């Protein structure tokens, strides 16, 4: 968590609203492996990180609620009696959605003021949206003593994303952001919404994120399209979700679906299996195996699930001949965002220079490189 960011948010709140706020920090997340498996009730391996959203909130005595997005320098005023999704909104619908989902439970909220800022770029695949939703629900829960459990809060956040942002996300992002543990990743079963904690120590290696700094227009519609394919094939197989399918099941109905849909569903089945193997490799301290599964995951996302893009593929391909990098893959929904790389600590500086130069030459734009620490979940500051 960034202390400077907390100070800036607190200062902005006092300057706008002249009172002392309650402050919440909600982290973004990385996902080690298990991409697009969450909405198929499968397995994922996320971790909360030390970058996220700082959210300041306090009650007010006026007839409207006010939210100030410090990074964008935008104020949004709204009435609690007439909440509907806004057209062409950027951040507003995530917050309005959380408020609306709380109201659906028959809870009468009072008006409030809030200021928030983050140090995760939107579209970087680190779930700034889930961090924002969680910060809002956690803040409202604390301020108005609503008594929600953490599990109830993440379901409110997920419904806000479905109903107000229009993205039919699984539960992974909200879960990792809320329940994250220091220096640990969570092997999460998205059906039971229960996780096992794995202490992470890659010894001489560390995780490095490289942001393509692109977000292709396809991302949200393609995400919902992929989900529809998975649900359609699940109905054909007469199962609840692809979590329950085997390759043999899929082969049995292969003639009834397109080759593209077959490959997408095969990817999900294989990725679930990779999550199992990845968790075993962590227990065995087998870093080389972890790297191998990262590359296989990326290959499936790019060639079978088709959610990669030329920038992501370039970054991953550029690591394959580098003996200091064990593995890399795209992370997040796709069509932009970050790659996650398992790299020898002593070689990070040299690699950063090399990859920045290569990326600039190929795309005539800069990539951004982040080191992250695995962090605790959403909490009061």
Per-residue pLDDT tens over the stretch 340-357? 999 999 999 999 999 999
Whether residue 305 has pLDDT greater than 80: yes
d(Cα 252, Cα 257) in Å, to the nearest integer?
Answer: 10
Domain 201-371, classified CATH 3.30.70.270, yes or no: no
pLDDT (average), residues 127-145 = 96
pLDDT digits (tens, 9 = 90+) for 144-159: 999 999 999 999 999 9
Whether residue 219 has pLDDT greater than 90: no
d(Cα 249, Cα 238) in Å, to the nearest integer?
Answer: 10
pLDDT digits (tens, 9 = 90+) for 221-274: 788 899 999 999 999 999 999 999 999 999 999 999 999 999 999 999 999 999
Q: What amino acid positions are annotated as catalytic residues?
A: 173
Mean pLDDT computed over every residue of the chain: 95
pLDDT at 42: 97
The three-state (H, E, C) secondary structure of 141-203, written as one string: HHHCCCCCCHHHHHHHHHHHHHHHHCCCCCCHHHHHHHHCCCCEEEEEECCCCEEEEEECCCC
**Contact indicator for 222, 314 with CB cutoff of 8 Å:** no
pLDDT at 170: 84
The pLDDT > 70 percentage for the chain reads 98
Bin 87: left if φ > 0, else alpha if -120 < ψ < 50, else beta: beta
Return the domain boundaries, the chain: 3-198, 201-371
Look at domain 3-198 and name its CATH class.
Answer: alpha beta
Annotate 73-100 with DSSP letters as a single string: TEEEEE-TTS--PPTT-SSHHHHHHHHH
Say how many C-beta atoms besides its own lie within 10 A of residue 365's C-beta: 11
Collapsing DSSP to helix, strand or coil, 347 comes out as helix
Q: How many residues can be counted in the chain?
A: 381
Collapsing DSSP to helix, strand or coil, 246 comes out as coil
**Contact indicator for 122, 94 with CB cutoff of 8 Å:** no
Put simply, whether the predicted model's pTM sits higher than 0.85 gets the answer: yes
């Amino acid at each position: 968590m960034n202390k400077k960011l907390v100070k800036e948010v607190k200062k902005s709140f006092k300057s706008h609203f002249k009172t002392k706020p309650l402050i919440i920090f909600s982290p973004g997340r990385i996902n080690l492996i298990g991409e697009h498996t969450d909405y198929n009730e499968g397995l994922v391996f996320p971790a909360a990180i030390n970058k996220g959203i700082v959210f300041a909130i306090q009650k007010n005595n006026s007839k409207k609620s006010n939210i100030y997005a410090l990074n964008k320098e935008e104020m949004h005023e709204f009435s609690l009696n007439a909440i509907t999704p806004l057209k062409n909104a950027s951040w507003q619908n995530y917050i309005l959605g959380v408020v609306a989902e709380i109201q659906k439970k028959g809870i009468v909220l009072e008006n409030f003021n809030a200021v928030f800022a983050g140090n995760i770029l939107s579209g970087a695949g680190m779930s700034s949206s889930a961090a924002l939703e969680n910060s809002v629900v956690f803040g409202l829960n604390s301020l108005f003593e609503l008594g929600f459990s953490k599990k109830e809060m993440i379901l409110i956040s997920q419904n806000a994303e479905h109903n107000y942002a229009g993205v039919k996300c699984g539960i992974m992002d909200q879960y990792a952001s809320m329940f994250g543990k220091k220096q640990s990743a969570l092997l999460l079963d998205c059906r039971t919404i229960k996780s096992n904690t794995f202490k992470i120590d890659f010894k001489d290696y560390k995780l490095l994120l490289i942001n393509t700094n692109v977000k292709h227009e396809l991302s949200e519609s393609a995400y919902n399209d992929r989900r529809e394919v998975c649900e359609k094939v699940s109905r054909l197989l007469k199962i609840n979700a692809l979590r329950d399918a085997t390759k043999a099941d899929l082969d049995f109905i292969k003639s009834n679906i397109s080759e593209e849909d077959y490959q997408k569903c095969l990817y999900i089945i294989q990725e679930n299996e990779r999550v199992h193997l990845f968790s075993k490799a962590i227990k065995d301290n087998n870093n080389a195996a972890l790297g191998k599964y990262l590359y296989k995951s990326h290959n499936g996302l790019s060639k079978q699930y088709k959610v990669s893009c030329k920038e992501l593929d370039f970054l991953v391909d550029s690591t394959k001949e580098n003996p200091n990098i064990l593995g890399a893959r795209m992370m997040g929904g796709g069509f932009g965002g970050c790659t996650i790389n398992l790299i020898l600590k002593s070689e990070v500086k040299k690699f950063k220079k090399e990859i920045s130069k290569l990326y600039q030459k190929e795309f005539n734009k800069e990539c951004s490189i982040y080191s992250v620490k695995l962090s605790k979940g959403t909490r009061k500051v």
